Amino acid sequence: MNSTTQCHINNLHFIFIPLMAPGHLLPMVDMAKLLARRKVKLDKVERVIYVCLGSLNRATPQQLKEVGLGLEATKRPFIWVLRGAYGKDEMDKWLIEEGFEERVKNRGFLIKGWAPQVLILSHKAIGVFLTHCGWNSTLEGICGGVPLVTFPMFAEQFYNEKVVVQVVKSGVSLGAQSAVHLGEEEKFCVVVKKENVRDAIEKVMGEGEENEKIRERARKYADLAKEALEEGGSSYHNMTRLIEDIMHVPSLC
């Protein structure tokens, strides 16, 4: 590597920005203001549950109802992202006609569409992330220092869950065992019950030594992730090597 290349490499600065799809039109508002609209006070850190089951979520309305009832049973404030791609009309009807939105209006905030997930997870008020364990969401949760409640549905999500629950040990499983394949959703109408949702969240957010250990490990891995991105860290080093290799590809010179 010549001196000019070394100079360029030494002066590289990496800025990781969460990219938003065209539908990401929810303003980047302050989380305190967002939840204040539902009269949720953020007087304590790690108080709010954040739920998002991914952009390819195919959970049935029956399953989503169980998730909602489980959130309600926690008696904790929450943010629930509902993409509405599958069974949207039935779900919308349930939210209104069964009175769910009315019952939780003072502590629950429903986002029907895309949400600025990285922004939400970075807020100190978030105490747990109920996730489908897609790799992006898994990394965003870990980097945000947020414990995960895992609800994998298909593909590599079950492997990602094992990383979180068995290796990193910064999360709790809802107990989903079967992959829900595209077109076969009705065969797996309800995979986890509201009691599973309530109990798993309590294992993370409740009082006790084991609960605190999970939260402590989540904070630890967030610090390690931050170090990896800083100069001299593994991610910084690997990205530098990648750019160096690209610069030496003859056809790109």
pLDDT (0 to 100) of residue 46: 65
Asked whether residue 104 is domain-assigned, the answer is: yes
Contact 138, 148 (CB under 8 A): yes
Residue 110 neighbours by CB under 8 Å, 6+ apart: 80, 82, 95, 101
Asked whether residue 141 is domain-assigned, the answer is: yes
Over its length of 253 residues, how does the chain's per-residue pLDDT go in tens digits?
444 444 443 443 333 333 333 333 344 445 556 555 555 555 556 689 999 998 887 788 899 999 999 999 999 999 999 976 677 888 889 999 999 999 998 899 999 888 889 999 998 899 999 999 999 999 999 999 999 999 999 989 999 999 999 999 999 999 998 887 777 777 777 889 999 999 999 999 999 999 999 999 999 999 999 999 899 999 899 999 999 988 888 876 5
List the one residue out of 165, 139, 128, 113 whose CA is nearest residue 48. 128
Asked whether residue 79 is domain-assigned, the answer is: yes
Range of the domain at 110: 23-227
pLDDT (0 to 100) of residue 67: 96
Asked whether residue 208 is domain-assigned, the answer is: yes
Asked whether residue 235 is domain-assigned, the answer is: no
Please report, for the domain that includes residue 33, its CATH number: 3.40.50.2000
Asked whether residue 241 is domain-assigned, the answer is: no
Asked whether residue 8 is domain-assigned, the answer is: no
Radius of gyration, alpha carbons of the chain: 20
- What global pTM score does this model have? 0.81
Total of domains in the chain: 1
Contact 227, 233 (CB under 8 A): yes
Residue 189 neighbours by CB under 8 Å, 6+ apart: 60, 62, 63
CA dist 173 and 149 (Å) reads 6
pLDDT (0 to 100) of residue 84: 67
Asked whether residue 4 is domain-assigned, the answer is: no
